[in-house]
Amino acid sequence: MKKSGSTLSKEEKLAAKLRENLKRRKAQIKQRAAKIASSSAIAQK
């Protein structure tokens, strides 16, 4: 018997979790890069 909504396998759930972590990490890196860019631009003035 399969419960509705739990059709994903463990591997698929793990892959989805990894993708989410990667997205979050990329967003954090972008934010950090933006902060560094703005702070270095201020330092150059």
* This model's pTM is above 0.75: no
pLDDT tens track for 1-45: 456 556 779 999 999 999 999 999 999 999 999 998 888 877 776
Amino acid 9: pLDDT: 93
Q: Is the CB of residue 16 less than 8 Å from the CB of residue 8?
A: yes
Amino acid 45: pLDDT: 66
Q: 44: which 2 tokens? A: 């150059």
DSSP 5: T
b (16+ CB within 10 A) / e for 2-29: eeeeeeeeeeeeeeeeeeeeeeeeeeee
Amino acid 31: pLDDT: 96
